[in-house]
Amino acid sequence: MAGLALVRKPGPRIAEGIVTNIPREPVDRELAAEQHAAYVAALAAAGWRPVHAPPADDLPDAPFVEDAVVVSGRLAVLTRPGAPERRPEVDSVEQAVRGLGLNTVRITRPGTLDGGDVLQTGDTVYVGRSARTDDHGIAQLAALLPERQVVPVELSGVLHLKSAVTALPDGTLIGDPAHARLPGLLVPPEEAGAHVVPLDGDTVLMAASAPRTAELLERRGLAVVAVDISEFEKLEGCVTCLSVLVPDALSM
């Protein structure tokens, strides 16, 4: 499939990113920059051409670019993040996605929606009802995607839906049923194993912090690309948060 990968480099204030559900730990800014570069290189090696959103050095959480936009077909839905301090991230992401030739629309007040709460697989769009995404935001997204089945999901103890559940290339949902109740979940042996980015065919991107889950997926016939994102995990980040993939068929 492959295509474009929207990313944004971490800025000098990355260590000040919001932490909600885990204890705060010191973040090594230089190591975070190195890990992000390796993450982008892994996407590029898999055929995803990196497109960098403009720097946002005053916004600590800006490298978690997934939260600012949801791409479905030729439509880029610019979000209205639930954390007010993150809303300034969206304007520069709009600039980037317009450069990709996508049509843009926005979630508007009073709705809130974080892209990390939106999990797309097949014709279904699961949306986490979280501290960052409310019913108004979910209803607006459903109205903007009339051809998709939008399914709200109750969450517990996690920041976003995709902090708890993602999808394998064949559509199998993988995640922790303690955080999100969805039928047929494949339960990984490690929490970080819930976070999977399908890259192409049977290849997935995962965090290096989930080696037992990687072995599980390899036994299922998947090729696993592991990246170390430890500094972003300290900020409740995962492999899905750091990019928005736009397949070739959508970016032409």
Which active-site residues does the annotation give? Answer: 160, 241
d(CA 152, CA 154): 7
> How far apart (Å, rounded) are the C-alpha atoms in residues 146 and 157?
30
- Look up tokens 């809303």; give the residue: 87
Residue type, 22: I
User: Is the CB of residue 132 less than 8 Å from the CB of residue 114?
Assistant: yes
Strands 48-52 and 3-7: parallel
Q: Is residue 137 helix, strand or coil?
A: helix
> Rounded to 5 degrees, what angle do the CA atoms 229, 92, 124 make?
65
| Alpha-carbon separation of residue 248 from 54, 79, 150, 245 (angstroms) | 22, 23, 24, 9
What is the rounded CA–CA span in Å between residue 204 and residue 226? 9
For residue 67, CA distances in Å to 117, 119, 179, 252 come to 8, 12, 19, 23
Nearest to 241 by CA among 92, 3, 29, 35: 35
- Tokens coding 56: 């946002």
